[in-house]
Amino acid sequence: MKEQKYLHLAAITRDFVEYMISVGYTEKQLMGGTGITLEEVSVPEAMAPMGASAEIFNRAAALSGDDLVHFKWAQERRLKRLGVIGYLGRSSPTVRDMLDNLNRYQRTITEAVIVDMSQLESDGIYRWNMNLPRSVDAGFIVEAQLVQLVAGLRHLLPRELTPSRISFAHHRAKNKEAFTQYFQCPVAFDQPSNELVFSKPDLDLPLSTADSALYQILRQHCDMVLERTPTSRSDIRVQVEGKIVDLLSTGQANIEVVSRDLGMSSRTLARRLGEAGTTYQKVLSNLRRALAERYLKDGAMSQTEIAFLLGYSDVSSFASAFKRWTGHSPGDERRMI
């Protein structure tokens, strides 16, 4: 990925490309020349330039001759497809909690979206704007993301969610009535910002997938990711740590995947880490140890859960690594706390 500005979680782009391929189009038609490939965004927590993702959605509409192809597809996509942040959303107690989490951890999944929840409590307004150059036409991907959010909530709530009002900042020339019919509320385009307006009672609706134990574990994990996500991405060690944390539980936190996500070759990444006085393996090992020690302080997390979050295949592998770092077992560490 050559372009490093306006990165955004690539999960929705990956899934949409896979869908379009399944109905007869090719990766080259959809992604050729965008600077990203399907392989590059195959990792669950991979990021991609929002401009490239927007171009892919625009191409799909042009290729299919259907400017609602993404709209129809997004109605069937579930929140769990968003990776860790999606599972956190699904395990949240209420709609309000889910939105709070999306806002709290937005920096870990996007540089392209700015969320404003200042009027959520008073007026039920969830507002967001795109942090993109005007040359980027992101209308279709914004529509797909909002449809996915509402469709996901409808799937998880005890009754159908009907927004009070929806606004889009981009222009749409035709098929506006499809949005009014789907959302069952007034929908306007060419507005100052994107807005999803809830009735205030809907914010307190409980999610059917709420899981308090999983919720606490995922919150801690996302807090760690947030802590290690720089507002400025200049420190290469911090950048690498952020990518590793995202990838650990997938078992793919290797230098090849991390360097690809950072838009460079593994040789370039190794050189830049060397200039910073470290190596990839040192960064990985030190990060795993720091995470392990933090997770072990939480008595609610089992060693099996910790091993999974750190990317080990089993508890025995985790215990061996921990003893190598510290000279004692994870159990001994816990008893010393």
Segment 144-157, tens digit of pLDDT? 999 999 999 999 99
Note the pLDDT of residue 337.
66
Reported as a pLDDT band with limits 50, 70 and 90, residue 200 is: very high
Output the pLDDT for position 233.
46
pLDDT computed for residue 249 by the predictor? 83
Q: Is the pLDDT of residue 73 over 70?
A: yes
Structure-model confidence comparison of residues 140 and 137, the more confident one: 140
Q: Is residue 163 over pLDDT 80? A: yes
Arithmetic mean of pLDDT, 115-144: 91
**Residues whose CB is less than 8 angstroms from the CB of residue 265 and which lie 6 or more positions away in sequence, other chains included:** 259
In this predicted structure, the answer to whether residue 46 has a pLDDT above a threshold of 60 is: yes
Instruction: Please state the rounded mean pLDDT for residues 41-62.
Output: 92
Give residues with Cβ within 8 angstroms of 185, minimum separation 6.
Answer: 162, 163, 164, 165, 166
Give 7-204's CATH code, choosing from 3.30.310, 3.80.10, 3.90.1520, 1.10.490. Answer: 3.90.1520
pLDDT given for residue 57 in this prediction: 98
Rounded to an integer, the average pLDDT of 94-122 is 93
- Residue at 23: amino acid letter: V
Average pLDDT over residues 147-171: 94
Question: What does the alpha-carbon distance between residue 243 and residue 225 come to, in Å, rounded to a whole number?
Answer: 9
What pLDDT is stored for residue 282 in this prediction? 93
Predicted TM-score (pTM) above 0.85: no
Q: Do domains 7-204 and 228-336 have the same CATH topology?
A: no
Give the model's confidence band at 334: pLDDT under 50 very low, under 70 low, under 90 confident, else very high.
confident
**Which amino acid appears at position 15 of this protein?**
D
- What does the DSSP assignment read for 202-247? GGGPBPTT--HHHHHHHHHHHHHHHHTS-SS---HHHHHHHHHHHH
Give the pLDDT score at 235.
65
pLDDT averaged over the chain?
90
The answer to whether 18 touches 38, Cβ cutoff 8 Å, is yes
* Percent of all residues in the chain with a pLDDT value above 70, rounded to a whole number: 95
The token pair at 242 is: 């952020």
pLDDT of 270: 94
Please give the Cα distance from 259 to 199 (Å, whole number): 44
Residue-wise pLDDT for 267-283, tens only, equals 999 999 998 888 999 99
The whole-number average pLDDT for the span 54-80 is 93
Mean pLDDT of 153-170: 94
For 204-260, the pLDDT digits (tens) are 999 999 999 999 999 998 998 888 776 654 468 777 887 888 888 888 899 999 999
Mean pLDDT over 277-299 rounds to 87
Domain ranges for the chain, please list them: 7-204, 228-336
Residue 135 reports pLDDT greater than 80: no
pLDDT of residue 80: 63
Confidence of residue 1 (pLDDT cuts 50, 70, 90): very low
Q: What's the whole-number mean pLDDT along residues 279-305?
A: 87
125-130 and 7-9 beta bridge pairing:
unpaired
Q: Which CATH architecture has domain 228-336?
A: Orthogonal Bundle (1.10)
Q: Which pLDDT value is given to residue 167?
A: 98
User: Region 79-105: what's the mean pLDDT?
Assistant: 88
pLDDT at residue 136 is higher than 90: no
* pLDDT higher than threshold 60 for residue 3: no
